[in-house]
Amino acid sequence: MRNTLAPTFTTDHTRKLIISALFAALTCVGTMIIKVPTPTQGYIHPGDGFVLLSGLILGPIWGGLAAGIGSALSDLFGGYLIYVPATFVIKALTAIVAYAAYKVITKIIISKTNMPQLIISGIAGEAVMVAGYFTFEIFMLAFVNGSSFAAGAVASVAGIIPNVIQGIFGVIIATVLHPLIKHLSR
């Protein structure tokens, strides 16, 4: 007798789950292995390329989860515990926005390579990352460290340039790897 409460997994569903787990792992490893320290005690890494690719290839739900989980695990393993929840949300939203922007832009811009669409959607996703960490760091500095809101905002400005640089590298990585990975994930 079949249990009607148990989820039914199709081959397609299982395949998507496996690819999502792989993207979460790639995101985590890409974030943890290659680190370029920044003056703000953070670091620049290629993991954002995999965050964008997660959204672009897997769609908003699976891609958002893969990006958020992989990035949050990297913060957890790296000792950035206070960032784990924020990173999960920010990176998931980065992947979701990149996916949504890509879907809209591909209806507006027609190109054989999809490079303009990938670049524009990557920029849209990375703008979420920059704004998300800026906002989180304001509140973290203001409330966790006991600073004023204004002092937190001023201190958070220092993180914008490293996050923009990280975002640029993420867009480049995603744009270069997308055609290959899209073909392999079919």
**Residue 4 pLDDT class (50, 70, 90 cuts):** low
pLDDT at 59: 96
Residue 5 placed within a domain? no
Q: CB-based burial of residue 5 (10 Å sphere; 0-12 exposed, 13-18 middle, 19+ buried)?
A: exposed
- Show the domain range for 26: 14-184
Is residue 144 scored above 70 in pLDDT?
A: yes
Residue 7 placed within a domain? no
Average pLDDT (135-153) is 82
Q: Which residue has the higher pLDDT, 179 or 40?
A: 179
Q: Which domain CATH number covers 161?
A: 1.10.1760.20
Q: How far apart are CA 65 and CA 128, in angstroms?
A: 16
Is residue 114 scored above 80 in pLDDT?
A: yes
Residue 8 placed within a domain? no
pLDDT at 142: 79
Count of domains forming the chain: 1
